[in-house]
A and B are shown apart, each in its own frame.
Chain A
Amino acid sequence: MDSGDLALQYFLSGITKGSIYAVVAIGFNLIYSATGILNFAQGEFVMLGGMLAVTLAQFVPLPVAVAGAVVVVACLGCLLEVSLFRKLRRHSVMHMVIITIGLSIVIQEAALHLWDEKVRSLPYFTGNEVTSLRILGAAISPQVLWVLGTVAIGVALLHGFLKFTLVGRAMRACSSNAEAAMLAGINTSNMRTLSFGLSAALGALAGCVISPITLTHYEMGAPLAIKGFAAAILGGLGNPMAAVLGGLLVGVAEAAAVSRLPAAYNDVAAFAILLAVLFVRPHGLLGAASGDSVREC
C-alpha cells in the first residue's frame, strides 16, 4: 500500500471516530442551547446505549435491540432532567455542570456493578471482522459505512426537526431567548426535558453503531465526553451543525497524530491544535462572539 492509500486509510478512520465525537458534541450542544448546562454525562449515554444493545441482542433481533436501547436511554435522559435538573432552580449553571460530572461517575459505576468490567461488542451489522470494501485503494469495514450513514441520517433528521417542525422551532426559540419563548406560550421546561431526551437518544444510537468497531466498555464514557466537549468547543457552542465540523476535525487530527507520532502522544496533537484554535478564535471556529460578555452566563 503506498503512502497515499495509507493517508486515505487514516483519514477514513479519523472520519469514523470523528463522526462519533460529532454525535457527542451535538448532544452537548442540544442540552447547552436549551439549558446552558454542559452535560458531562453525555459520554455515558453512548456507553449505556452500547451496553444495553449488547444485552438486548441476546434475546431479540439486532434492529429491535438497538431501537430498544435507544428508547431506554432516551427515557433515562428525560428522567434525569425531570427528577434532578428541573428541581434545581436556585443553582448556578456551574453547580449543574458539576452535578453532571457526579452523574457521569455514578452512571459509570452503576454500569460496572450492573454488568462487569469486561469488554463487549455488538456483532457487525453486515459481514464480520474481516469483511472489507475497497474504496479508492483503502480497505474499510462495512461497519464504517453504517456509522457514517447512521450519523449522517441522524444529523440530517435532527437538522430538519430543528428547522422545519413546530417543536423544533420551539426548541430553537428557547435557546435564543428562553423568557421570550415562555411569553410566546412555549413550555420551556418540557423543551429542556426534550433536549435531554434527544441528546441521550442520539448518544445511545452512536454507542450502538460504533460498538462493533471500538467495542463497548464501562469506562468508555469519560474519554468520549472529553473529546465530544472538545469538538463542541472547537465548532463553537450553541450550534449543533458546527459540532459536526468540530467532531470530524478532532477525529482527523487524532488519526493524523496516530500516523505520525509515537502512540503515547496521540492526544497531544489533537488538544494542541484545539488550544491553538481557541487562542486565535476564542469562540470556536463557527461560534458567534457578539454580546457574550454582557449576557448573563
Chain B
Amino acid sequence: MSKYTQLWAGGLLAAILVAAQLLLRVTGKDYCLTQLTMSVYYAIVVLGLCLVMGYAGQVSLGHGAFFAIGGYTSAILTTADFSRFQSLAGVGWLKSIHILEVRQNLFGSPVTTVSPWAAFLAAMVVTLVIAAVIGYPALRLKGHYLAMATLGFGLIVNKLILGSSIAGAADGISDVPPFALLGGLMVSGKSPVRVQNYYIACGLLLLLLVLLGNLVRSRMGRALRAIHDRETAANAMGINTSAVKLKVFVLSALLAALAGVLFTHYTGGIGPSEAGPLKSVRYVALAAAGGMANLWGAAVVSTLINYLSLRDWFGSFDQAVFGVILILIIALAPDGPLPPLALWVRRAARRVFGQRRPRHGAA
C-alpha cells in the first residue's frame, strides 16, 4: 500500500471508528464500546502476527502466550503486595522514583505494589527475553515444524499458568489497578472513562497501522518479503535471514504483550484462557482471514469478528459462525475482504461519478 492510499485508508478508518462511537452514543448503547475496545486490543495481536506470517512467511501458533506473558507480568506486579519488604533499605528509594506505589486494594486496605509504568516496562523486557530465547532456536525450523514448536511453546506457557498459584491458577488475576497514562488519560474499564479508553485503543491501533505500514515499505519489509518468497534466495542476496526473522518475531511478540498489558489494565484482570492454544489458533485464523500480508484487512476483520463474538451476537452458534466466516473469507477472497471491497467501491464510484469526467474533458 503506497503512502497516499495509506493516508486515505487511515482517514477512512478513523472516520468509521469515530462514527461508530457517535452512533453508539446516539442510540444509547455506550456499553458496546467496552467490547469494541477489547477487540481493538486483540486486533493489535493480529497485526503483529500479520507481520510474522504475511510478510516474513513464518507461522506462529504461540502468540496467545505472548499476550498472556505481557498481561500476567503486569497483573502480577501490580497486584502482589510488597508491604512486608517495607523495612528493606531500597524500598523507600523505589517509592521515591515511583517504581513502587501505595494504593488501596479492592477491600480498602493499603497495599504496596509496583506501579503500572514500571510493570509495563518489566512486561516488555520479560517478553523480549522470552521471545528471543524461544525465537532463536525455533526460527531455524521451517513451515509446519515451526508451527508445532510455537504451538508447543504456547501450550507449555498455558499449562504453567494453570499450574502456578502466583498466577492465580485457573482463576486468573483480578483487581488489576488502572494504568494512568500521560495527560490524565487512564486505561481502565470504569464507565466514566469508557469513551476515552475507546479512543486510546483506536489511536494506538491507527498509530501502529501507520508505523508498521512504514516498516513493511522499508528495507526491512523488503527483506521480509524476500524471505517469504524464497529464503535461500534471500540469503544469497545478502540478507541475514535469521537475524531479520528473529527481529520481526520479537517485534510481533512485543506487540502481543503490549496488547496484553493494556487489555489487562482495561478489563481489570486476566485469565489462563488468554494463553490457550485456541486463542493462538484464532489469532492466526484472523490474520489469514484479513488477507495475511494485509495489515489493514487484519485490523478490520479481527476487530469486527472479535466484537461480534464478544457481544455474543450469534449466541450458541458463535464458534460455528466463526468457522464458517473463516472458511468463506479464505476460500472466496484469499487476499482478505478489503481488496475486492475496494475494487467494488471504486467501480461503484466510477459508475456514479465517472460519466461526468469525460464530459468535463470534452467541454
Contacts and interface: CB of A to CB of B under 8 A. Distances in A.
Interface string B271-292: 0000001100100110011001
B350 interface: no
Interface residues of B, number: 45
A201 B6 CA distance: 50
A297 interface: yes
A32 B277 CA distance: 22
Given A110-B320, A278-B141, A293 B330 contact: no
Contacts of A38: 144, 147
B149 interface: yes
A98 B330 CA distance: 8
B152 interface: yes
- Closest A-B pairs by Cβ, 3 of them: A264-B163, A105-B323, A109-B320
Contacts of B232: 293-294
A94 B281 CA distance: 13
Given A91-B334, A106-B327, A275-B149, A282 B159 contact: no
Contacts of A109: 317, 319-320, 323
Contacts of A262: 163
Contacts of A108: 319
Given A98-B284, A101-B281, A104-B323, 15 more contacts: A99-B331, A102-B285, A102-B324, A102-B330, A103-B327, A105-B326, A226-B151, A229-B148, A264-B162, A268-B156, A268-B160, A271-B155, A278-B148, A292-B142, A297-B142
Interface of A: 32, 38, 84, 87-88, 90-92, 94-95, 98-99, 101-106, 108-110, 113, 222, 226, 229-230, 233, 237, 262, 264-268, 271-272, 274-275, 278-279, 282-284, 292-294, 297
A283 B323 CA distance: 31
A283 B152 contact: no
Contacts of B163: 262, 264-265, 268
A272 B156 contact: yes
Contacts of A268: 155-156, 159-160, 163
A282 B141 contact: yes
Nearest to B317: A109
29 contacts: A84-B327, A91-B330, A94-B59, A98-B288, A101-B281, A101-B284, A102-B285, A102-B323, A104-B323, A105-B322, A106-B323, A106-B327, A113-B317, A113-B320, A226-B155, A226-B277, A229-B148, A230-B152, A233-B145, A265-B159, A265-B163, A268-B160, A271-B153, A271-B155, A274-B148, A275-B153, A278-B152, A279-B137, A297-B142
Given A98-B284, A109-B317, A293-B142, A271 B327 contact: no
B143 interface: yes
B346 interface: no
B311 interface: no
Contact of B285 (A32, A98, A230, A265): A98
B334 A92 contact: yes
B327 A99 contact: yes
A90 B333 CA distance: 11
